[in-house]
Amino acid sequence: MSRERSAGGSEGSGPLDVFRRFFALERDVLVLSLAMFAFSLGFQMTNRFLPEYLVALGASGFVVGLFGTVGNVVSAVFPYPGGAISDRIGSRYALTLFGLVSTLGFGVWLVAPNLGVVTVAGVAIRPWVWVFVGLLFAQGWKSFGLGATFAVVKQATDPSRLAAGFASTETFRRTAFLVGPVLAAVLIGFHPEFTVSFRYVLAVAVVFGVVGTVAQHVLYDVDEDSIGDSFEGIEQIGRDLREMPEPLRPLLVGDTLVRFANGMVYVFFVLVITQFYEVGLETTVALGEFSYGIDLSPEAFFGYLLGVEMLVALLTMAPAAKAAERVGLKPVVALGFAVYALFPVVLIAGPEVLTGVMPLPWAMVLVFAFSGLRFAGLPSHKALIVGPAERGAGGRVTGSYYLLRNTIVIPSAALGGYLWEYVNPEVAFTVAAAIGVVGTGYFLVFGKEFEAYR
């Protein structure tokens, strides 16, 4: 494969260049990008608002933390078997199966309020419990399909262009991260009661799940699939962990600490806006004699803040991947880690500092713009994970990496929830930032560069 045909191309480094070359991508990477867009749109329309949905259905702050921990369990357990399934049966059928499972999860979230309080063996099951149940399904494509998506890009991309290949798929995925929350914010504005308006969002997510599943099954070229060995059970998991490529080990340690820190507070970002600061946006846009009043609830405003975050991500990912070809993957990955580490303390304390020079809503816009920089290193991070893997084993290597990382991260959200509920939010976010800084420092000192980028 020539470098001109490699996913992401070799000319230009801006996000518009990625879109301009969209139909020149390798077929499988093109289909994967389309599926990523559909499922990411559905998941990002819904997932970032679920903590508020849980609170509206009667859950406490600690329960929100437990919800994040269950999400961590899913993220830890699903990728390895998903990668093994993908390597065994091929990416087309694996991703179709995972798409159906994910769409079912959106549906469970949609009907949760209608289920009311159900009594089983004398125990009252509240409506918010069904949000937990839906999570087990909704993360199917995102977590089960993780190894499959990495493997598809690896088998279609020149090794020295892996960061650019991931930048192509991530650009379309993050475009959905931009559009999804903004679309959710618009739909949330249709009804004053959040539990009603958010169900409009969930209904649209179900539609996108169906479209994504059908599109990837029909369009994916099964002849391009590389099929690995059959899964041999728990012994194979242990062997894959022991045989993990050496360059991944320091990356795994630093990444795990950074993700543990992020996991402590991630589910509380929306509550910082809706409950801690209770900040919406009320302003008037004037153009000549025309003026339009904007009055956003905190929930809707959060959706637009996520849009700002993703806009910055889209503007920086492709140039960062291009820069990685000159300076290496490690510096770009470290930059992303640093922003991940600092964002919790910037979010919880930064707005108060900035209100001395600007109104609180605009301070929040600036804070979330800063947050978008953490995604600049994501394509390089993925390239650093899958690059050393042998062909036909990319799914299992990725699955092994995420199995170990996400298993350790499992209790992070519960810890954050405990600190949020029983100490205070400032302590929860400060502790998270400190852990993230340690992880970033470890990777800077011990992290290894992928040989193809030396």
- Check: pTM over 0.85? Answer yes or no: no
> How far is it, in rounded angstroms, from Cα 452 to Cα 454?
6
Q: Cα–Cα distance between 23 and 91 in angstroms, integer?
A: 20
Across the chain, mean pLDDT equals: 80
Q: Which long-range contacts (CB under 8 A, 24 or more apart) does 192-197 make?
A: 194/52, 194/53, 194/56, 194/299, 195/53, 195/56, 195/57, 195/113
Residue 273: CB partners within 8 Å, gap ≥ 6? 279, 298, 301, 302, 305, 364
Q: How many CB atoms lie within 10 A of CB 242?
A: 8
> Helix 394-409 and helix 79-89: axis angle, to 10°?
170
| Average pLDDT, integer, range 49-55 | 95
Here the tokens at position 182 are 């903004």
Higher pLDDT, 434 or 149: 434
Tell me the C-alpha to C-alpha distance, in Å, between residue 263 and each of 288, 342, 381: 46, 13, 18
pLDDT (mean) for 394-405: 71
Residues 6+ apart with CB under 8 A from 23: 30
Sorted by where each begins, the domain ranges of the chain are 3-453
The per-residue pLDDT for range 275-330, each reduced to its tens digit, is: 999 999 887 777 777 777 788 899 999 999 999 999 998 888 888 888 888 888 88
Tokens describing residue 369: 């713009």
At the topology level, CATH places domain 3-453 in Growth Hormone; Chain: A; (1.20.1250)
pLDDT digits (tens, 9 = 90+) for 85-113: 766 766 667 778 888 888 999 999 999 99
Q: What is the pLDDT of residue 129?
A: 93
How many CB atoms neighbour CB 347 within 10 A? 24
Taking 3-state DSSP, the helix, strand and coil percentages for the chain, each rounded to the nearest 5, stand at: 75, 5, 20
CA distance 141 to 82: 9
- Confidence (pLDDT) at 5: 38
Of the pLDDT bands very low, low, confident and very high (cuts 50, 70, 90), residue 231 is: very low
Across residues 436-446, what is the average pLDDT? Answer: 95
Q: CB-hemisphere CA count at 13 Å for 57? A: 29
Taking only the tens place, the pLDDT of each residue in 236-282 is 666 766 767 777 888 999 999 999 999 999 999 999 999 999 999 88
Cα 134 from Cα 140, distance rounded (Å): 10
- The structure tokens 């510096």 sit at 331
The amino acid at 433 = A
Would you state the pLDDT for residue 37? 78
Confidence class for position 170, pLDDT limits 50, 70, 90: low
